[in-house]
């Protein structure tokens, strides 16, 4: 038996990466399929890279969202609409995420714009958002929160589940992400995704930026870089047409512009945090070498 030529072999055995990291325990886009997120900072574009660190000013305005149609075959061959989601799994605090998930953006019926010179195609709003963009604003005494963007393929018969119709600009907590994906038939595998960290701590400049693995002024505290963070109590109810209710009966609405200090519970219980890197990528050359060693007569 002979191995195939080197290039086809490379694609066959290269490891499947994912965004966000699998150890987070949240839905992940396979094969490192990145969603392109671009913010504007004083007129200068800031293209988000995976696990990047920001102060709150950088992410204060709604970003441009695009899919990399020239880079990923699964997106290149798709011409339908998308559902866009942005969630915070660390509200209220990373070590006590009692408001998981906080819904920062829910937009359905997003269509593709023309492909730009960089190979991306912008997602364009064709309808009013179910929940408009809400800027990241963790409590000033909280370690940085993770913010995850997802784009899902929107099938032709998609309808918003009735239990989730109550989410809006002022009603964002107690969003059960996995239940939403299941009941909407979107599935738990997004077309593309991206995530980053934002800190609103008083010692962090609002225009602060740092690459993945960097450190905020004053340190990163309880920022979650591996695993989903502490488990929380599963939500018992979903949002209804007026407002959702917390497990203690208090309102779970968080008006736009107020820091993320709600007390609602979020999605189903997740595994405890584990130690490890933010996102380790295995070099494919190791797999090539293993193949050749296992099949010494292949060439």
Tell whether the model's pLDDT for residue 261 goes beyond 90: no
CA dihedral 260, 263, 265, 266 (to 10 degrees): -10
Please check whether the domain covering 18-280 is classified as CATH 3.90.280.10: yes
Q: How far apart are the first and last CA of the chain?
A: 10
The answer to whether 150 touches 190, Cβ cutoff 8 Å, is: yes
| Residues above pLDDT 90, as percent of the chain | 64
Over residues 271-284, the pLDDT tens digits come to 333 333 344 443 34
Question: Can you tell me the mean pLDDT for 284-294?
Answer: 41
Block residue for tokens 């945090």: 273
How do the domains of the chain map onto residue ranges? 1-16+282-299, 18-280
pLDDT of residue 259: 59
DSSP state of 109: E
E-only strand ranges, 33-101: 35-41, 44-47, 52-55, 64-67, 81-88
Over residues 135-160, the pLDDT tens digits come to 999 999 999 999 999 999 998 889 99
CA–CA gap between residue 158 and residue 153 (Å, rounded): 10
């Amino acid at each position: 038996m002979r191995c195939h030529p080197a290039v086809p072999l490379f694609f066959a055995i290269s490891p499947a990466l994912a965004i966000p990291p699998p150890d987070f325990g949240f839905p992940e886009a396979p094969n490192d399929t990145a969603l392109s997120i671009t913010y504007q900072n004083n007129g200068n574009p800031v293209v988000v890279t995976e696990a990047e660190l920001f102060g709150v000013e950088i992410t204060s305005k709604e970003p441009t969202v695009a899919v990399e149609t020239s880079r990923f075959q699964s997106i290149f061959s798709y011409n339908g609409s998308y559902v866009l989601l942005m969630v915070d799994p660390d509200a209220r605090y990373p070590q006590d995420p009692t408001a998981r998930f906080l819904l920062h953006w829910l937009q359905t019926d997003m269509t593709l714009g023309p492909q730009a010179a960089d190979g991306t195609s912008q997602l364009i709003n064709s309808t009013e958002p179910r929940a408009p963009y809400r800027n990241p604003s963790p409590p000033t005494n909280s370690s940085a929160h993770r913010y995850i963007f997802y784009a899902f393929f929107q099938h032709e018969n998609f309808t918003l589940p009735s239990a989730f119709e109550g989410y809006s600009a002022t009603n964002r907590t107690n969003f059960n992400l996995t239940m939403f994906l299941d009941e909407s038939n979107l599935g738990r595998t997004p077309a593309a995704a991206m995530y980053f960290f934002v800190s609103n701590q008083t010692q962090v400049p609002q225009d602060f930026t740092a690459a993945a693995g960097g450190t905020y002024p004053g340190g990163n505290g309880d920022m979650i870089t591996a695993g989903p963070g502490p488990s929380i109590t599963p939500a018992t109810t979903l949002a209804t047409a007026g407002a959702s209710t917390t497990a203690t009966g208090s309102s779970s609405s968080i008006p736009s512009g107020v820091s993320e200090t709600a007390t609602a519970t979020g999605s189903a219980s997740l595994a405890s945090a584990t130690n490890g890197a933010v996102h380790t990528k295995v070099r494919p050359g190791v797999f090539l070498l293993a193949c050749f060693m296992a099949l010494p007569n292949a060439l």
